[in-house]
A and B are shown apart, each in its own frame.
Chain A
C-alpha cells in the first residue's frame, strides 16, 4: 500500500462499487482527508457526512445516525466522536464495518498503526524489539498515546509515557493488560531531560489546551517538556521525532526540529493513507 500512498504505484480498484461514509462528530482535517484519500486509492467511493450540519445537532443519537447511513446502502463507516466507546456502541448496532477514527480519550487505532508503520519503515524492520520509544506531553487526555501504547508494545517496543504528573497519571503504566500479544512494556516518567539519551524515538503530543481549560498544564510546561533544538541535539544519533499533528510550532516542538532531518512527521501522514487503505480493503472486501 505504501507505494500507492506515495504515488509511486497506480491506485487499485479493489473496492470498486463500494461506498464508505465518514462520520466525524469532532473537527478533523488530517484524519478525515486521509481516509478519503485511502478510500479513493483502493477504488471506493467516499462520502463525507458533515456531522455539525447533520441531524445529530437536532438530537438524533449516534446510533440512529449510523443506522440511517447504513440504510442508505453504505458499505462501511469511519467514525470519530468525542464519546469514549462511541464506535463500539455503533458497531454493536449496525451490520457494516465501523472504523474508529478516534473516540474521546480512548483510542485512535489507525493512528497507532500508522505510527508503528512509520517506525518500521524508519528502522527497516518489522519488529520493534529492543527499541525504547517516548511519548511526551498530555498523555492522559491522548487517544493517540493509548493506541500507540498498544501497537508499539505489540511489536516489541518499550514505551515511556512522559509528562508532568498532572498530565500523566501513574495508572497510565497499566494501559496495556494483555500479555498475550505484547512483548514490550509501558512505564511512566515525569522528567524528559533524564531520558533523552536513552530512547530510540520520541513522539511529541500536542498540548490540548481546549480539553483542560488550561488546568493541569504547568506554567513552565514548554520549558520542561518542549522539544527544543537543544533537547533534540541530546537525542541518540538518528533517533527520529514523531508527532501525530496538528503541531503547535514553538510550543511542544520547535520549528527547526519539526522540519529537521530527524522528523518523521510527514512520513507519518503518508503511512496514514497506506494503513487506512489496507484497513478499508481488508474490512470491505470481506463484507461483500
Chain B
C-alpha cells in the first residue's frame, strides 16, 4: 500500500481539538500529515476530494451484538456480516457483546473471537468478555486472563450482575486489570415478566411493567461498590432521568464512571409500542419524553459522554410474535450517525465536534484503545468521511446486517457516512458516492 490524500474536508479530531478545513495524508496505512493552514502537495498515489465533507477519526461503537457463536440459536448474523454493517454506518471499530452461545468466559473463547474478527477483515472487532461464568451472575470470571487473551472490556451485557458480592469481586478484578466494566444496569429481580416501560400505557396494554428504578438502583449500587475499587465503570444505554442524576452525582464526586446513550432512547418513547409493535421492544425499554430530555441534558452537560447503538439483530420470527414473547432489541448501526445528528446536533444539544468526540475518542478511551478514535500523526489511519447534509430515507431492506428490526425504517434523515477507511484502505464506500472509485482502486 502507498499513499492517499484526502483534501479539502472539514477535519474534526476532538482528541487534538482540531476542527478546521484541511488536508490529510495517509502513507502505508498511517497518518503522515494533517494540514489545516496550507494545502498538502497533490502527489499522492490516490486522492479523495472531501470538499463539503467531515473527515473524522473512524467511528467507534462500544456496544454491538454480532451473535457469533450462536450454537443452537437461530441467529443469522455473524461477525463478518455485523462488522461489515458497522463499516456501512461509518464505524471502523466495534466492541462485540458477550451474550453469545457459548459466551466468551474463557481465554480460549476470547482468542477465537479475536481471530474471527480479524478474518472478517471489515471493522476492527474487539470482544468484550463475560463478567461471570456463563453469564450466570454467580461466579466472577478470571478478568486478567480474559484481558490478556485480547478482551477489551468486561460485561454480562443482556443481564445486569445482580448479586452484590459477585459485583464487588468483578469490580476489584476489573480495577486490577486496568480495564472497564460495562453494566447492563437492570436489576433482574425487578423486571420479571416485564416487557415495556412501567406506566399507564403498559397497564392499558396489559403488559408487564418495567420500572425505571430497576436501572437506577443498580447504578447506585455499583457506584457505591466501585467507590472502593476505582475501576472504569460504565453504565450502558441509559433510559431514564433518575439514572442521569446518579451518574452526574458520581462524576461530580470524582468517581471513574461513564455512561452511554443509544439512538432509540434519544428519539423514541414508549408510545412506539402501541399496537403491540414488537420492533419497539428493547431492554431497557423506551420510556417517556421527560426521560429523553434528561438524557439530552446529561449529554449537553458532559454527564453522558459516549454514544452506542446496542445494535441487536434478530431473525424475523423473533419479532413476529406477541409482544411479551418477542425478543428485545433493535438495529440502527447503519443509520446511527444521522439519528444522533437529528437528536443532538439539529436540536442544538451539542455541536458536530462534540458529537464526533462521543463517537470516537470517548468510547476508545473507555475500552482502552489509545490508537482508535483519533487522528494521531504516525498512528493507524482509521478515518470516516461523512456528508453531514446528505438527505436519504432509511430503508432497512438495504441494510448489510441480517436484522430488519429497525424502528427507524422509513425515516427521512440527513447526514451519512460516505466511506470507512481502515489503516489507509477504503474498506467501504457508499455506492454511488465519489469515494467508491477509490474503494475499488484500493482493493
Quick one: given A84-B205, A84-B322, A106-B206, are A171 and B200 in contact (CB under 8 Å)?
Answer: yes
Q: B325 near A: Cβ within 8 Å? A: yes
Q: B102 near A: Cβ within 8 Å? A: no
Q: Are B199 and A146 in contact (CB under 8 A)?
A: no
Q: Are B323 and A175 in contact (CB under 8 A)?
A: no
Instruction: Tell me the bound Cα distance from A65 to B256 in angstroms.
Output: 53
Q: Are A104 and B206 in contact (CB under 8 A)?
A: yes
- Chain B residues with CB under 8 A of A143: 206
Binds B, one of A85-93, A120-128, A238-246, A270-278: A85-93
Q: Are A89 and B206 in contact (CB under 8 A)?
A: no
Quick one: given A88-B276, A89-B276, are A83 and B203 in contact (CB under 8 Å)?
Answer: no
Q: A107 near B: Cβ within 8 Å? A: yes
Q: B72 near A: Cβ within 8 Å? A: no
Of A62, A103, A106, A107, chain B has the most CB atoms within 10 Å of the CB of A106
Report A90 CB to chain B, min CB distance, Å. Answer: 9
Q: Are A146 and B322 in contact (CB under 8 A)?
A: no
Q: Are B207 and A89 in contact (CB under 8 A)?
A: no
* Residues of A in contact, count (CB < 8 Å): 24
Q: B437 near A: Cβ within 8 Å? A: no
Instruction: Tell me the bound Cα distance from A266 to B86 in angstroms.
Output: 63
Contact residues of B between 198 and 215, Cβ < 8 Å to A: 198-200, 202-207
Chain B minimum-CB-distance residue to A173 = B200
- Chain B residues with CB under 8 A of A57: none
Q: A287 near B: Cβ within 8 Å? A: no
Quick one: given A62-B322, A89-B276, are A84 and B203 in contact (CB under 8 Å)?
Answer: no
Q: Are A83 and B323 in contact (CB under 8 A)?
A: yes
Q: B114 near A: Cβ within 8 Å? A: no
- Chain B residues with CB under 8 A of A61: 317, 320-321
Q: B275 near A: Cβ within 8 Å? A: yes
Q: Are B275 and A84 in contact (CB under 8 A)?
A: no
Q: Are A172 and B203 in contact (CB under 8 A)?
A: yes
- Chain B residues with CB under 8 A of A210: none
- Chain A residues with CB under 8 A of B325: 83
Q: Are A83 and B322 in contact (CB under 8 A)?
A: yes
Instruction: Tell me the bound Cα distance from A36 to B275 in angstroms.
Output: 29
Instruction: Tell me the bound Cα distance from A171 to B201 in angstroms.
Output: 9
User: Which of the residues B203, B207, B317, B324 comes within 8 Å of A175, measured between beta carbons?
Assistant: B203
User: Which of the residues A62, A85, A172, A175 comes within 8 Å of B276, measured between beta carbons?
Assistant: A85
Contact residues of B between 300 and 358, Cβ < 8 Å to A: 317, 320-325
Q: Are B321 and A175 in contact (CB under 8 A)?
A: no
Q: A140 near B: Cβ within 8 Å? A: yes
Instruction: Tell me the bound Cα distance from A84 to B321 in angstroms.
Output: 11
Q: A247 near B: Cβ within 8 Å? A: no
Report A71 CB to chain B, min CB distance, Å. Answer: 18
Chain B minimum-CB-distance residue to A174 = B200
Contact residues of B between 348 and 403, Cβ < 8 Å to A: none
Q: Are A146 and B206 in contact (CB under 8 A)?
A: yes
Report B184 CB to chain A, min CB distance, Å. Answer: 25
Contact residues of A between 61 and 97, Cβ < 8 Å to B: 61-63, 81, 83-86, 88-89
Report A7 CB to chain B, min CB distance, Å. Answer: 35
- Chain B residues with CB under 8 A of A84: 205-207, 276, 322-324
Question: How many pairs of A and B residues are in contact by the CB < 8 Å rule?
Answer: 59
Summarize A's interface: helix, strand, loop or mixed.
mixed
Chain A minimum-CB-distance residue to B202 = A171
- Chain B residues with CB under 8 A of A179: none
Q: A177 near B: Cβ within 8 Å? A: yes
Report A102 CB to chain B, min CB distance, Å. Answer: 10
Chain B minimum-CB-distance residue to A175 = B204
Quick one: given A84-B276, A88-B275, A89-B276, are A174 and B203 in contact (CB under 8 Å)?
Answer: yes
Chain B proximity mask over A91-120: 1 for CB below 8 Å, otherwise 0: 000000000000111110000000000000
Report B60 CB to chain A, min CB distance, Å. Answer: 38
Instruction: Tell me the bound Cα distance from A83 to B205 in angstroms.
Output: 11
- Chain B residues with CB under 8 A of A104: 206-207, 324
Q: A197 near B: Cβ within 8 Å? A: no
- Chain B residues with CB under 8 A of A146: 204, 206
Instruction: Tell me the bound Cα distance from A107 to B276 in angstroms.
Output: 13
Q: A255 near B: Cβ within 8 Å? A: no
Report A145 CB to chain B, min CB distance, Å. Answer: 10
- Chain B residues with CB under 8 A of A86: 322
Instruction: Tell me the bound Cα distance from A85 to B195 in angstroms.
Output: 12
Chain A minimum-CB-distance residue to B203 = A171
Chain A minimum-CB-distance residue to B322 = A83
Chain B minimum-CB-distance residue to A88 = B276
Report A65 CB to chain B, min CB distance, Å. Answer: 12
Q: Are A105 and B322 in contact (CB under 8 A)?
A: no
Report B200 CB to chain A, min CB distance, Å. Answer: 4
Of A86, A143, A172, chain B has the most CB atoms within 10 Å of the CB of A86
Quick one: given A62-B322, A89-B321, A89-B322, are A171 and B199 in contact (CB under 8 Å)?
Answer: yes
Q: A165 near B: Cβ within 8 Å? A: no
Report A164 CB to chain B, min CB distance, Å. Answer: 16
- Chain A residues with CB under 8 A of B206: 84-85, 103-107, 143, 146
Report A103 CB to chain B, min CB distance, Å. Answer: 7
Q: Are A63 and B320 in contact (CB under 8 A)?
A: yes
- Chain A residues with CB under 8 A of B202: 171
Instruction: Tell me the bound Cα distance from A81 to B206 in angstroms.
Output: 13
- Chain A residues with CB under 8 A of B323: 83-85
Report A211 CB to chain B, min CB distance, Å. Answer: 10
Instruction: Tell me the bound Cα distance from A61 to B278 in angstroms.
Output: 15
Report A138 CB to chain B, min CB distance, Å. Answer: 13
Report B443 CB to chain A, min CB distance, Å. Answer: 44
Chain B proximity mask over A234-274: 1 for CB below 8 Å, otherwise 0: 00000000000000000000000000000000000000000
Chain B minimum-CB-distance residue to A172 = B203
Contact residues of B between 164 and 188, Cβ < 8 Å to A: none
Of B205, B206, B323, chain A has the most CB atoms within 10 Å of the CB of B206
Instruction: Tell me the bound Cα distance from A85 to B324 in angstroms.
Output: 9
- Chain B residues with CB under 8 A of A83: 322-325
Of B198, B204, B276, B320, chain A has the most CB atoms within 10 Å of the CB of B204
A62-B321, A86-B322, A89-B322 known; 8 new pairs, CB 8 Å cut-off, are A61-B321, A62-B322, A84-B276, A85-B207, A104-B206, A106-B207, A171-B198, A171-B200
5 sample A-B contacts, Cβ–Cβ < 8 Å, listed by A number: A83-B323, A105-B206, A107-B206, A171-B198, A174-B200
Nearest 6 pairs between A and B by C-beta? A106-B206, A85-B276, A83-B322, A105-B206, A174-B200, A84-B206
